[in-house]
Amino acid sequence: MINFSACIVAAGSGTRTGQATPKQFIPVAGKPLLRWSAEALASHPRCKELIIAINEADQAQAAAALEGLGVVFVEGGATRTRSVHACIMQASQPYVLVHDAARPGLGHALIDRLLAALESHSGAAPALPLPDALARQGEDGVEPVSRDGLMRIQTPQAFHLAALSWAFDAAGQTDYPDEISLVRAAGLKVALVEGDEAVFKVTYPEDFARAERLLGDATPLPVTGTGFDVHRLAPGKGVHLCGVFIECGLELVGHSDADVGLHALTDAILGAAGAGDIGQHFPPSDERWRGADSAQFLIHAMDLAREAGITPVHADVTLICERPKVGPHREAMRARIAELTGLPLARVNVKATTTEQLGFTGRGEGIAAQAVFTGALK
């Protein structure tokens, strides 16, 4: 999967709100307006950096509003185009998403639609139909305007970084209302994906009340799933545990690679998503999964969890065995699970225990694992 840099334009003054404080710092449902957008982007598993264009005079206030998010600040320009250009000059990932600070209702589902569109287009933007009739004031009174082919364009707008950089070079010092306009002017093809009414732009004083109503009910609901799995041990060259191959005189017997740790965690994720169990999705009777890497089972479970609106929060796996020794491989296991789930390393835990030589694990006949997965459902 290709990762992205997230850029937020927050250098405006927001004068149409009628307030002295720049609107990006006005609290909405307990958070500065800017933080809603920043958290939505930073929490996506494919977001690897968050870049904010801000006026130098507002940087200290922005840093306080975004504390803990690991933000890179760049000096905002006199226009949106100049601010976005300053952001992408710092971007390091193959994809870049450009978002407005004043659109706080962003969710991961919209981000995923944009990333999918980039697989076949240079750029993509969310769009919504126009529900109202249109007219313009003419010399002879009101003149109807057809809505055919007209759409409302939102942000984030997503691009291949190389394509957007090339479009900026072609534009010179010309300013554009948004990045889709800039890329189209350079002759590149862009796609429109389904937008989201929740990602409306807070512009006027009454919009804050609407955002408060929307986001005030947006407190994530915690969801938890548990998983348990067992596999028999036999003589062999090594075992797969939590995505790491450990050379030893044993192997785990199973239809796939028998990674008991990833199987337990996969079931925990499926449980949190209400999506059944691993056997339903990858039946042992299906020859496609003979010897398969269990990582693909976990990736599938994570995809289902995200489709269900779940953001991963924490994963905890306990391996129950007498051998092999887990301690020397614990950090590699944590790193692999973090990579597969999109979780920060600090939110992944792997631990091991024995049964004091009691039962099948104590006799060295097999390995068991249990897992707990916690997510946040919006």
Give the 3-state DSSP-derived string for 235-289, with helices as H, strands as E and coil as C: ECCEEEECCEEEECCEEEECCCCCCHHHHHHHHHHHHHHCCCCHHHHCCCCCHHH
Residue 185 in tokens = 């002017």
d(CA 229, CA 131): 52
Question: Considering the entire predicted model, what is its pTM?
Answer: 0.62
d(CA 164, CA 38): 21
Q: Which residues contact 67 (CB under 8 A, 6 or more apart)?
A: none
pLDDT band at 216 (very low <50, low <70, confident <90, very high): confident
pLDDT band at 225 (very low <50, low <70, confident <90, very high): very high
Residue 126 in tokens = 């969310």
- Specify the length of the chain in residues: 378
Q: What pLDDT is stored for residue 130 in this prediction?
A: 85
The DSSP symbol for 234 reads E
pLDDT of 14 > 60? The answer is: no
pLDDT band at 114 (very low <50, low <70, confident <90, very high): very high
Q: Which of 135-144, 193-202, 312-321, 326-335 has the lowest mean pLDDT?
A: 135-144
Residue 82 in tokens = 């100049």
pLDDT of 228 > 90? The answer is: yes
Q: What is the mean pLDDT of residues 82-109?
A: 95
pLDDT band at 91 (very low <50, low <70, confident <90, very high): very high
Please count the CA atoms within 13 angstroms of the CA of 172 that sit on its side-chain side: 1
Average pLDDT across the chain, whole number: 91
pLDDT band at 140 (very low <50, low <70, confident <90, very high): confident
pLDDT band at 231 (very low <50, low <70, confident <90, very high): very high
Domains of the chain, CATH where assigned: 4-216 (3.90.550.10), 221-377 (3.30.1330.50)
Handedness of CA 122, 39, 55, 14 (dihedral sign): positive
Share of the chain above pLDDT 70, in %: 97
